[in-house]
Amino acid sequence: MSSKPKPTRPRHKPRPRPRPRLFVPTPLPLPQTTMRAQWAPQHVTIEELLLDYKLPQIVQCRTPVLRSKDDGPPPPVRLDMPMILADQRTVRHLLARIVVYDQKNHAFNESKDSVVIPDDYDGNFLRLHSRTTKDKSHVQSLQDIAHDDTPAFLNLSNMTSFPAARSSRDKSHLIYTAGNVFLVDEPLPETTSANAEKAASVSAGGPGLSASLGSSRLKSATSSSSGRSANGLMRCLDERGLAVMVPTNQVGEMMTIQKSAEHQAKLSVKSSEIIATEQFPLLARFAYGKKQPRLTSFSKLFTLLDSFQETSIIACTIERSSIMLLEIPLASALQFEVALNRDELLTIPRMRNALEACRKQGAELSRDIKYKYKFSHRVQETSRRMMKMKEEDMPSATMRTRLRITESYVYI
């Protein structure tokens, strides 16, 4: 008697690992209404559009954006929705690669994702001595730092310390994960009650490291290399302004931070100062600002690749009851059709509110760090085969050139 074959489980294709979303967009609510636009028959680029029309304009992108099956999460912005082109802006940017921490290998690495930092960004950065994450020429141990004039450092490895103000009976300690900044402060040669009170005043009432990085409070930078540590301990300030004692005999990698060439007692600099004085590439770390960069996967580290000047258009897409802000480079190859009844459309409360919000919020976006969203699209359709090509059948780079496929980007 033959046995029945065992039922087999259906095979499922493994899901592609989604890439982390680097930017969390914030749609702006709008009241629902019906928009009826009369579109011009010809398609034009942004540069061509500005030759015949004045801003603001209502447009719709007609360039097909291609996505492959390995692209991960859906795009953060839909370019095929109607949008308002509000204002034009020319600014100098820093082009930067986002640095992420590899939990498996316990190391910082440059990712494939990029951001742009405008020269009028309201935030400060620290410049590390290393050019990239692969540059280990300026990596030091804690003992090395304790015996030179390094004003501040970033820990590349987990680091143990304890509060400088703790009592002799207190055995508590602090563990800092990789990526924290420490300002080397004057050492405490002896653990006395007077010194404990001094450390407590720094940690409890101090202005925090952000104030120290931008001011002249760098005592160690002008002190001699001897006496920066005592009994194998080095006194530092963490980013909260908390005074901690760091054992210098622990194993770990640290990266030193540069002082300003013009102001020896200053560590943090603006993006405009980096653009004016630095050579690239350069490893930089976000220090402080009015608001944190709008990135969800963020180690605060960037590899600055270059600086460039660019003219872009502040725009917003209109989707149902919300708008999404973005910037489109003036030299973009994307093609748009223009609404011929713009004046009529702008009398609709929804459109009028969208334009007002786009101008107000767009001014803030233009001065903020923006994610560079890159995508592929067709330059022109050359054959029926191309028109029927499925998105998962993306050709190689050589075939893309032959089939008139190129890459563009917008800032969000």
pTM reported for the whole predicted model: 0.78
Structure token digits, residue 350? 């929804």
What are phi and psi for residue 266, nearest 5 degrees?
A: -125, 140
Distance CA 102, CA 134 (A): 13
The residues that bridge with 108 in the sheet, in sequence order, are 101
The stretches of 218-318 forming alpha helices (DSSP H) are: 219-222, 271-277
pLDDT in tens, 118-158: 999 999 999 999 999 999 999 999 999 998 888 999 999 99
Structure token digits, residue 17? 């690992």
Distance CA 116, CA 118 (A): 6
Distance from CA of residue 390 to its chain's centroid? 33
Structure token digits, residue 1? 């008697």
Collect the ranges in the chain with pLDDT lower than 50. 10, 12-25, 33, 187-207, 216-227, 380-389, 391, 398-403
C-alpha atoms less than 13 angstroms from C-alpha of 6 in its C-beta half-sphere: 2
Rounded mean pLDDT of the chain?
A: 79
Q: What is the pLDDT of residue 18?
A: 42
Q: What is the pLDDT of residue 188?
A: 45
Q: What is the pLDDT of residue 402?
A: 45
227 conformational bin, left if phi > 0, alpha if psi -120 to 50, beta if neither: left
What's the one-letter identity of residue 140?
Q
Pair 311, 330: CB distance under 8 Å = yes
Q: What is the pLDDT of residue 199?
A: 36
Diameter of the chain measured on Cα atoms: 93
Q: What is the pLDDT of residue 46?
A: 94
